[in-house]
Chains A and B, each alone.
Chain A
Amino acid sequence: MSTTTATPPYELLGAHDLRVDLGGTTILQDVSLSIGPGERVAIVGPNGAGKTTLMRALSGAVPATSGEVILCTEPIQNLSRETIARSIAVVGSDITLPFATRVDELVALGRIPHGRGPAGPSDHDRERANAAIERVGATHLQHRDVRTLSAGERQLAAIALGLAQETPILALDEPTAHLDLRHRMEIADLLTSLAGDETIMKTKRTIVAIFHELDIVRDGFSRVILVSNGTIAADGTPSEVLTAERISAAWGIPLERAARL
């Protein structure tokens, strides 16, 4: 941890001396970070560095072995699963469905943490789901079967699913994986614009996303966390973090080639 950004007004999402062991192997250790409301944070790092595990730990999907995770100023272990789901939406890198499901039906599943009882999505839920679909510009896909969508369209549906959860934090695991150049740019622009939205907590939406494309990170994110070997190697602005030396060390590539990335 060499560089830090200005201290946020309060801790929306944080980790303190976090360590995560899975199946007897230490995946993450000595992880400390603090993310405030309205921040746009990219997580980068080589395959197997622990980026996804970090996101899973920050969203309570895996327990901390030691240290703690803070969500909306509370230690995450004190929060119920439903409260967590109303605070942080996690958009996975791929959606596969066992049955024919329309995009609006899929996105309505994002309302599950706000629902009660056995009944299906209410009119209000459908309305919020359709608003989320509209927000990502996918209204024309509303009635399509999710399984017939292209990779780019499916990613839009996945982001709408996360938006329908109406959480102050939107976390995305490789939202640009498998996408071509144009769709990558569209998703990156969408994330930038989503970060400006006001959420139900009357703050700007916080976005945390894992990326492999450093150009997207440099263009659209004010803060980058570099994860390498299960710990945070650097945390700061793109120009501070994504230096040739750090890229070379983290990804194990020659310095002269790293300098061109």
Chain B
Amino acid sequence: MRTQRSISVTLVALIVVAIGAIGFGVANIAPLDVLAIMGKSLFGLPVGSHISAGSTSIVMEIRLPRILAAIAVGAALATSGAAFQSLLRNPLADPYVLGTSSGAALGAAIAFLLPLTGIAWELGGVQLAAFVGALASVALVWRIAGIGSGEERIASVLLVGYAVASLLAAALSLVMLASGANLRAIFGFLLGGLDGVTWPRLAAAAVPIALATVLLARRGRALAAFLLGDEAATHLGIDVRRERRIAVALATLATASAVALAGLVGFVGLVVPHLARLAVGSDPRAVLPLSAVGGALLLLLADTVARTIGVPVGVITALIGAPFLLWLLHRARAGYAL
């Protein structure tokens, strides 16, 4: 009903925007031609004989991987954000709440300093380092806060996440001070962006993203019980320790892969779940899938603007996200309380 309709409408919007976005750019390609190119290149359909090789190459080599990356990253961040908000019962939680962002940034910064050239660079040495850094920081928070031990307290999980993130941020500052000519590249990673996404890099990140996001979006039942707190979730038949471990692991895998592909894109993971709640209420069984589709749509729109005016997408999401958050807080007085 309301949930299914919201998801369907958003999904249709996503597909329409995606086709439009593939055609949109310095070289404009009509939506029908985009479909023809994709039909011909992907499925070998006998269409689009009038289309130039240049257009085909722009669509297939440059725009399609970038647009798929925006969709994957947006879905991963928004779904993880929604999961962390429910899991930690905190409307301020985002995908980076357990130190993912700082860990990834430090990993990437170190990789920029290493003499990575040629094949290692092509395969995404920086991306791999960011991925490993993100997983390592969450592993540290997990260990210290005792996630899944049954003894952890939400406030202490949040504080441990904050402390670990601060520590890693300090290390990142040191690396940046020592980075010299690489400073610009590190800064670019921190701002987040989808420039230069290639098929191999997309494929490497998209597999874990798709897996983790889909599995996470299906854990809504347990996450719904978590809204009431651990004790009440237990009384609703949920194995709290097990479900918390699974949800944190999946959300971390999705976030770390997204960060590896796109750098630190902010606000999507914080704002989209709240938008979803405005549309379908607070039950994670509805919020998670709608966040996935909505996050994909929002990041795709933001990235289309970003590449048109030539700024990193993270700047655009912050420019849209921060005022939106303020609007939501303002609205709180009129009904939907954040």
Contacts and interface: CB of A to CB of B under 8 A. Distances in A.
Interface in A103-118: 105, 108-110, 112-113, 115, 117-118
Given A92-B232, A112-B225, A120-B220, A105 B237 contact: no
B334 to A, nearest CB: 11
Interface in A53-106: 56, 59-61, 80-86, 88-90, 92, 95-102, 105
A81 B234 contact: yes
Nearest to B235: A90
A206 interface: no
Given A95-B228, A99-B91, A99-B277, A118 B236 contact: no
A120 B283 contact: yes
Given A112-B221, A120-B285, A61 B85 contact: no
B85 A98 contact: yes
Contacts of B277: 99-100
A157 to B, nearest CB: 11
A89 B235 contact: yes
A119 interface: yes
Contact of B237 (A92, A97, A101, A112): A112
B234 A61 contact: yes
B281 A145 contact: no
A118 B235 contact: no
Q: What range describes how many residues of A lie at the interface?
A: 35 or more
Contacts of A46: none
A92 B231 contact: yes
B201 interface: no
Contact of A101 (B225, B227, B285): B227
Contact of A98 (B90, B220, B336): B90
Contacts of B89: 98
A218 interface: no
Given A92-B231, A100-B336, A105 B236 contact: no
A99 B231 CA distance: 18
Contacts of A105: 281-283
A101 to B, nearest CB: 5
B53 interface: no
A147 interface: yes
A86 B238 CA distance: 12
B188 interface: no
Nearest to A81: B237
B109 interface: no
A84 B239 CA distance: 12
Interface in B291-338: 335-338
A165 interface: yes
Given A96-B229, A101-B281, A147-B337, A118 B224 contact: no
Contacts of B55: none
A118 B227 CA distance: 16
A121 interface: yes
Nearest to B229: A96
A89 to B, nearest CB: 7
B235 A109 contact: no
Contacts of B3: 120
Contact of A113 (B85, B217, B237): B237
A61 to B, nearest CB: 5
Contacts of B239: 81
Contacts of A59: 235
Interface in B84-103: 85-86, 89-91
A148 to B, nearest CB: 8
Contact of B227 (A109, A117, A119): A109
B3 to A, nearest CB: 6
20 contacts: A60-B234, A81-B238, A81-B239, A89-B235, A92-B229, A92-B232, A97-B227, A98-B90, A99-B91, A99-B277, A99-B338, A100-B282, A100-B336, A101-B282, A109-B224, A112-B221, A112-B237, A118-B221, A120-B286, A147-B337
Given A88-B235, A102-B281, 16 more contacts: A84-B237, A86-B237, A90-B232, A90-B235, A92-B231, A92-B232, A95-B232, A99-B227, A101-B281, A105-B281, A105-B283, A113-B236, A118-B217, A120-B285, A120-B286, A121-B283
Interface of A: 56, 59-61, 80-86, 88-90, 92, 95-102, 105, 108-110, 112-113, 115, 117-121, 145, 147, 165
Interface of B: 3, 85-86, 89-91, 217-221, 224-225, 227-229, 231-232, 234-239, 277, 281-283, 285-286, 335-338
Instruction: List the 10 shortest-distance A-B pairs measured between CB atoms, nearest first.
Output: A85-B237, A120-B285, A118-B218, A113-B237, A82-B237, A98-B89, A99-B282, A90-B235, A101-B282, A112-B236
